[in-house]
A and B are shown apart, each in its own frame.
Chain A
Amino acid sequence: MAVRSRSSRWVFVNTLSWRMVSHRFSFVLFIMLACAMLVFGRVQPVMVEGARTHAIDTMAPLLDAIARPMTAAENAIGNVKSYFALRVENEKLRASNMQLQQWQNAVVTLQNQNRELQNLLHFKTEPGMAYISARVIADTGGPFVRGLIVTAGKLDGVREGMAAMTGDGLIGRVIEAGDWSSRILLITDLNSRIPVTVMGSGDRAILAGDNSAQPKLMYLPQDSVLTAGARVVTSGHGGIFPPDLPVGAVVETARGAYSLMPLADLGRINYVRLVDFNLKGGAFNPIATKIQSENKKR
């Protein structure tokens, strides 16, 4: 009896120590594996980013399935709100409609005038823009990154570098495009740098994100004095974005230091428009090619 008890105790102690050793071993193994991955990410960033895009692409349907009820709930709340504000909204729309009709008349006149002048000068027009609409399925931002994942990828014609906009203005650019989904880097992200022009003064600057709600306007000419509220648009330099995409308005933060208040509310984006401004076509851009072929047929 005593022998059996001693033997079972030995087995118990042995199992316990084996479990402890195996646990310690797995802890050390995973710590080392994580460290190795960190180092590999620094050495081979392109490969790691490619793997990340592929992984997000694979997870996109699940993220989409989780995001759908959220979007539906927001739409339902919006519908109820708009129902109660129907009367006021209606009056506003009537006033806005009258104003827009006046603008439309002016635009038609100016468009005709512009076309005639362009014909006179044999002016070579810029290629038009194509838009791809996409729904936001994930807000990948945290305290360190400002980004979004949207439901449009290479198969929809999305390419890296395309501008991402809402109805109000520019919000960022596509940094990774998978087959079904894409990652957008917002203009407020620390790594975002966009060449811009301040309208009115014509001063050029670089819009630099700093993870705050208001990115900074850097590298302005030394003697430039900007007016608060002045409209800022993309300059088109560097070929990153087409010129004249609205971005935001100037805000003076300190004496001689300026930042930008984005036109779009970056905290509540449900849908984005990805702008393709390079309509030269090619295998990489099926939408642009389609638009071009349709234009040719006409």
Chain B
Amino acid sequence: MIDVVWQRLDSGARSALPFVTVLLCTFFSVVAWPLPHLGAVAPPLGLIALYYWAGHRPDLFRPSMAFIIGLLNDVLHSLPLGLSALLFVGAHQLILQQRRFFTGHSFYMTWFGFSLVIVIVMLLEWLAICLLRWQGLPFFPVLMQMMLAIVIFPLPCWLLIRLQRNVLSAG
């Protein structure tokens, strides 16, 4: 009986891993890093993790989770409530539809897929905020954030691959 309970707890914890990693990445992207002037262009680590899990384990990372992470992103970044939630759910759907193309081939294809997703998400976010505030916002920081996210993508991706192999595959 105790074994069964432990087994269930273990499998539950493993299943929660994608959501927990995306959650932590979202928190890490707002924490005051000891690097000066990073705040304005800090890469959206949460979106990187979301892309990875929606592509590799969609059974463990559902649209509802993308919605919750989006809401959290809105709260932490002082964005209009619902905007990131809308974009993250949309991105989740896009990744799911193009899953074979994004994750079925080489790592470069995965990288290219992420670049595509982040460009679409950030462009739409910039456009939506410009429209909501009825004001043209500078595009340069958005561009910098996009580029930084694309450049650093292999590092968090490598960590997530290790995590998936060691925790999820082991289970």
A36 in contact (CB, < 8 A):
yes
Name the residue of chain A whose CB is nearest to the CB of B80. Answer: A41
Chain A window 250-274, contacts with chain B (Cβ cutoff 8 Å), 1 for yes, 0 for no? 0000000000000001011110000
A13 in contact (CB, < 8 A):
no
Name the residue of chain A whose CB is nearest to the CB of B143. Answer: A143
Q: A27-B63, A35-B86, A140-B78 are in contact. Are A211 and B137 (CB under 8 A)?
A: yes
Q: Which residues of B contact A63 (CB under 8 A)?
A: 27, 30-31
Q: How far is the CB of A190 from chain B (nearest CB, A)?
A: 7
B82 in contact (CB, < 8 A):
yes
> Contact: A37 with B40, CB < 8 Å?
no
Number of A-B residue pairs having CB atoms within 8 Å of each other in the complex: 145
> Contact: A38 with B86, CB < 8 Å?
yes
Q: Which residues of A contact B85 (CB under 8 A)?
A: 30, 33-34, 37
> Contact: A48 with B39, CB < 8 Å?
no
Q: Which residues of B contact A140 (CB under 8 A)?
A: 30, 39, 76-78
Q: Which residues of B contact A269 (CB under 8 A)?
A: 32
Q: Which residues of B contact A164 (CB under 8 A)?
A: none
B33 in contact (CB, < 8 A):
yes
A33 to B90, CA, bound (A): 13
A245 to B66, CA, bound (A): 44
B135 in contact (CB, < 8 A):
yes
A141 in contact (CB, < 8 A):
yes
Per the CB 8 Å criterion, the residue count for chain A at the interface is 53
- Contact residue among A38, A40, A143 (Cβ-Cβ distance under 8 Å from B126): A143
Q: Is the interface of B mostly helix, strand, loop or mixed?
A: helix
A138 to B77, CA, bound (A): 10
A97 in contact (CB, < 8 A):
no
Within 8 A of A (CB), among B21-62: 27-28, 30-34, 36-42, 62
Interface stretch (choices A65-73, A105-113, A198-206) = A65-73
Q: Which residues of B contact A30 (CB under 8 A)?
A: 63-64, 66-67, 85, 89
- Contact residue among B78, B81, B89, B133 (Cβ-Cβ distance under 8 Å from A38): B81
Q: Which residues of A contact B90 (CB under 8 A)?
A: 31
A residues with CB within 8 A of B: 23, 26-27, 30-31, 33-38, 40-42, 48, 51-52, 55-56, 59, 62-63, 66-67, 70-71, 73-74, 77, 136-149, 183, 190, 210-212, 265, 267-270
| 8 nearest A-B residue pairs (beta carbon) | A37-B82, A267-B37, A139-B39, A74-B34, A143-B141, A34-B86, A38-B82, A268-B36
Pick 12 A–B contacts, CB within 8 A, sort by A. Answer: A34-B70, A34-B86, A38-B80, A38-B86, A56-B75, A63-B30, A67-B31, A141-B77, A143-B142, A144-B125, A146-B40, A147-B78
